[in-house]
């Protein structure tokens, strides 16, 4: 028997993207038996989480004459593509383009004679009237003179370089073609004219393959007014191809030099060593797994970091720090290398609150001194707490934005609020899981029911309402706009309710507000940022997924209270979803993270994979809920499967609001002097 043929080591679109983020990563990539990698590698979950799969399928429907190149075999795909390209006119989906060891599967290619339109379909929405201005870093209506258009805005670089890479490969493979590159994506200013558009595209998982299936009539006529548009990207792409784009690259090389280096190094499996820098913060190889190497640590060692410093904390672990790259350029790699001069000196208006710079300094100081006791500015916290009115309400929303709208008259990426949870804390200490809402029905737009249910929960009293992020305010303001355009019979009442509990800035007049609710929600996360820090959260994150385990390990009050069997449907602390639950459970000396005590949202994935849906610096844990919502909307499943997901989501959201209550209870104990702290 002969050896198994080696997979060709082509530089593809995804590898080019990885190389652009950091060229060294190319060496560690696609070596699952050698290097630990924490990036999400499941195509089905990825498609659900990123949500772009429907956009790609809809784009193809706009070209009914298109021919798909379906084979996954590189040589065969290239052969078929080349055969079709012999035709004078042809539209191809997923054509395979190869030049030397560069290999690209483009999204859509439209050939007419020798002219080719190369269309990259992205889920990112844009406004075609202002796209080019935005790419050059200008606001709508502000035109940058052509001579100054040399630097592509960072938020667009990844997309435009991707299109430039594909254009480069096509031009090299077919120099006889004149190529015009296009970006195709949802136009956020357009409304769909058909109901149920997004229920025409379903995601199907078949073993390790994921595909999109269409349902019903998907002819251009049945799809109504186009909501995806194509924008000509010739100007920025040509600037890149000519080597005149002036933005800074991690590699420090020109476009062609980069491609040459990446393709050669990847082909020969050689590591490209570049200096460690700000890019290392989000390195997918910053992780360990039994029997596998740690690529991140390999890089650190190669740059002189001592073995005992390989776990940091590093400069890029400083919370919200904007000077990472300049400090690392000066050789400051670890937090302990930072000095007073490396921080700003801005002060907070509240004399007791930490400004961002003070919070960063405090974090670094606590890490450098190996502090174990949390910081709390009790005076500031006390002042705030004295103003709060009982009963206290704790709410958390789960939301999604789907690229293709549910119903006629809606735009791409409308806000969808499908779930909330609500806990109440009374003045006498009574805690109740007061209410909740969830709607996962396929094709149903839940927002107006959601806000009706929320109003019902909150209108009984004037108690302070807490959220843990600005997200809840944004969602309600978005629903306010949707209501204004709706014909809902009670829309005035619902909009008036939203105005009482939110704040909305006037987009036309800086510093002015359209409204500031008299019962405006209080952001508990902001209170954490201003007054509290636990040294066990090394990266200074304020995400509830870090703060909750930290305070549960810290607080004697919480450990004592929640190690008893007091939480559940018939228990002193009532629950709507759990029969009984003892939240404090120890694993050795550590309290087991409550989020890890709940069943995973999907039963066919392990927890480690599902955790990858939650980016580390996300304020909320919404990634898994959003993905679960997408799965309920855009895949076929049984009633039982849907019910299981619903039950799991209800528990997670319940825990989100309970976590807020626990943080609050802990602070009350701290203010009573029952907990340790440093000032």
* Bridge partners (DSSP) listed for residue 516: 503
Could you tell me how far CA 271 lies from the centroid of its own chain? Answer: 29
Alpha-carbon span 622 to 639, nearest angstrom: 23
438 binds ligand SF4 (CB under 6 A): no
* Nearest distance in Å: CB 300, ligand SF4: 7
Cα angle, residue 394 at apex, residues 389 and 397 outer, rounded to 5°: 140
491-520 mask for ligand SF4 (x: CB under 6 A)? ------------------------------
Beta bridge partners of 112: 89, 115
- Report DSSP letters for 27-50, one per residue: HHTT-TTTB---S---HHHHHHHH
Query: Are residues 403 and 186 in contact, defined by beta-carbon separation less than 8 angstroms?
Result: yes
Looking at the Cβ atoms of 314 and 445, the one nearer to ligand SF4 is 314
Distance of CA 616 to the CA centre of its chain: 10
Token pair of 384 as six digits: 């705030």
Q: How far is the CB of 276 from ligand SF4 (least distance, A)?
A: 5
Residue 450 binds ligand SF4 (CB under 6 A): no
**Which run of H or E residues covers position 91?**
strand 89-93
Comparison of 24 and 81: residue with beta carbon closer to ligand SF4: 24
Site membership for ligand SF4, residue 69 (CB under 6 A): no
The smaller minimum CB distance to ligand SF4, of residues 188 and 281, is found at 281
Alpha-carbon distance of 442 to 320, in angstroms, equals 38
Of 239 and 283, the one with the shorter C-beta distance to ligand SF4 is 283
Nearest CA among 547, 533, 536, 529 for reference residue 313: 536
Listed ranges 111-119, 138-146, 276-284, 570-578: which one lies at the site for ligand SF4 (CB under 6 A): 276-284
Tell me which stretch binds ligand SF4 (CB under 6 A): 48-56, 272-280, 484-492, 625-633: 272-280
Residue 335 Cβ, how far from ligand SF4 at the closest point, in Å? 17
Q: How far is the CB of 275 from ligand SF4 (least distance, A)?
A: 8
Q: How far is the CB of 295 from ligand SF4 (least distance, A)?
A: 6
Q: Which of the 8 DSSP states describes residue 410?
A: P
**Residue found under tokens 């999907």:** 602
283 in contact with ligand SF4 (CB under 6 A): yes
Distance CA 417, CA 479 (A): 9
Binding region for ligand SF4 (CB under 6 A) out of 213-221, 275-283, 391-399, 552-560: 275-283
Secondary structure of residue 387 in the 3-state scheme:
helix
Residue tagged 């025409």 (tokens): 200
22 or 453: CB nearest ligand SF4 = 22
Nearer to ligand SF4, 285 or 629 (CB): 285
Among 233, 280, 417, 425, binds ligand SF4 (CB under 6 A): 280
Rule CB under 6 A: say whether 276 interacts with ligand SF4: yes
Residue 200 or 332: which CB sits closer to ligand SF4? Answer: 332
Sign for the pseudo-dihedral over CA of 117, 122, 125, 130: negative
Output the smallest distance, CB 299 to ligand SF4, in A: 3
Q: How far is CA 436 from the centre of its chain?
A: 25
Site for ligand SF4 (CB under 6 A): which residue of 279, 367, 419, 620? Answer: 279
The answer to whether the peptide bond before residue 313 is cis (omega within 30 degrees of 0) is yes
* Positions in 292-321 near ligand SF4 (CB under 6 A): 295-296, 299
Q: C-beta of 269: minimal distance to ligand SF4 in Å?
A: 15
**Which one, 15 or 237, has the nearer CB to ligand SF4?**
15
Among positions 99, 103, 266, 285, the unique one binding ligand SF4 when judged by CB under 6 A: 285
Least distance in Å: CB of 42 to ligand SF4?
A: 22
Taking a C-beta distance cutoff of 8 angstroms, is the pair 202, 53 a contact?
no
Q: Of 13-32, which residues contact ligand SF4 (CB under 6 A)?
A: 22, 24-25
Which position has the token pair 């005076």? 379
Name all contacts of 580-587 with Cβ < 8 Å and 24+ positions apart.
583/552, 583/658, 584/552, 584/558, 584/559
- Residue 331 neighbours by CB distance under 10 Å: 10
Residue ranges binding ligand SF4 (CB under 6 A): 22, 24-25, 276, 279-280, 283, 285, 295-296, 299
């Amino acid at each position: 028997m002969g050896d198994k043929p080696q997979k060709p080591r082509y530089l593809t679109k995804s590898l080019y993207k990885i190389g652009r983020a950091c060229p060294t990563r190319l060496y560690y990539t696609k070596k699952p038996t050698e290097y630990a990698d924490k990036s999400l590698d499941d195509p089905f979950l990825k498609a659900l989480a990123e949500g772009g799969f429907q956009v790609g399928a809809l784009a193809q429907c706009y070209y009914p004459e298109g021919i798909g190149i379906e084979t996954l075999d590189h040589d065969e795909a290239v052969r078929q593509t080349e055969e079709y390209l012999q035709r004078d006119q042809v539209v191809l989906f997923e054509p395979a383009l190869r030049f030397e060891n560069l290999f690209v599967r483009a999204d859509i290619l439209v050939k007419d004679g020798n002219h080719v339109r190369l269309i990259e379909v992205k889920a990112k929405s844009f406004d075609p009237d202002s796209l080019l201005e935005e790419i050059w870093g200008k606001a709508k209506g502000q035109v940058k003179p052509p001579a100054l258009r040399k630097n592509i805005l960072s938020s667009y670089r990844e997309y435009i370089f991707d299109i430039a890479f594909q254009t480069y490969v096509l031009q090299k493979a077919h120099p006889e073609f004149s190529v015009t590159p296009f970006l195709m994506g949802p136009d956020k200013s357009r409304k769909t004219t058909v109901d149920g558009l997004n229920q025409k595209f379903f995601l199907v998982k078949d073993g390790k393959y994921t595909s999109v299936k269409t349902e019903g009539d998907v002819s251009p006529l049945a799809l109504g007014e186009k909501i995806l548009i194509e924008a000509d990207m010739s100007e920025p792409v040509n600037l890149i191809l000519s080597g005149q784009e002036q933005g800074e690259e991690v590699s420090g090389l020109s476009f062609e030099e980069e491609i040459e280096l990446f393709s050669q190094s990847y082909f020969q499996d050689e590591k490209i060593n570049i200096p460690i820098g700000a890019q290392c913060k989000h390195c997918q190889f910053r992780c360990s797994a039994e029997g596998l190497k740690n690529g991140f640590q390999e890089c650190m060692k190669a740059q002189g970091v001592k073995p005992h410093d390989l776990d940091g904390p590093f400069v890029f672990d400083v919370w919200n720090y904007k000077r990472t790259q300049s400090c690392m350029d000066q050789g400051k790699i670890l937090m302990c290398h930072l000095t007073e001069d490396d921080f700003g000196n801005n002060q907070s208006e509240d004399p007791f609150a930490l400004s961002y710079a003070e919070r960063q300094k405090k974090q670094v100081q606590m890490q450098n001194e190996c502090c174990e006791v949390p910081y709390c500015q009790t005076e500031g916290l006390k002042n705030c707490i004295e103003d709060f009115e009982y009963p206290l309400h704790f709410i958390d929303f789960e939301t999604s934005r789907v690229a293709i709208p549910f119903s006629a008259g809606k735009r791409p990426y409308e806000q969808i609020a499908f779930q909330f949870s609500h806990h109440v804390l009374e003045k006498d200490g009574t805690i109740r899981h007061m209410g909740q809402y969830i709607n996962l029905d396929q094709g149903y737009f839940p927002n107006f029911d959601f806000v009706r249910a929320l109003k019902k929960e909150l209108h009984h009293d004037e108690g302070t309402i807490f959220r843990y992020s600005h997200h809840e305010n944004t969602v309600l303001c978005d629903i306010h706009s949707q209501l204004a355009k709706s014909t809902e019979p009670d829309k005035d009442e619902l909009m008036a309710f939203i105005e009482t509990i939110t704040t909305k800035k006037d987009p036309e007049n800086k510093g002015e507000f359209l409204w500031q609710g008299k019962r405006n929600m209080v952001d508990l996360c902001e209170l954490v940022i201003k007054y509290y820090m636990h040294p066990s959260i090394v990266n200074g994150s304020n995400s509830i997924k870090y703060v909750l385990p930290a305070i549960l390990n810290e607080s004697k009050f919480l450990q004592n209270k929640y190690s008893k069997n007091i939480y559940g449907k018939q228990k002193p602390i009532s629950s709507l979803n759990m029969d009984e639950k003892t939240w404090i459970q120890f694993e050795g000396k550590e309290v087991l993270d409550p989020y890890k005590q709940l069943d995973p949202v999907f039963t066919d994935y392990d927890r480690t994979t599902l955790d990858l849906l939650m980016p580390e610096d996300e304020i909320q844990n919404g990634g898994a809920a959003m993905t679960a919502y997408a799965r309920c909307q855009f895949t076929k499943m049984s009633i039982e499967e849907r019910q299981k997901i619903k039950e799991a989501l209800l528990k997670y959201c319940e825990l989100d609001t309970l976590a807020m209550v626990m943080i609050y209870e802990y602070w009350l104990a701290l203010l009573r002097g029952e907990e340790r702290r440093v000032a």
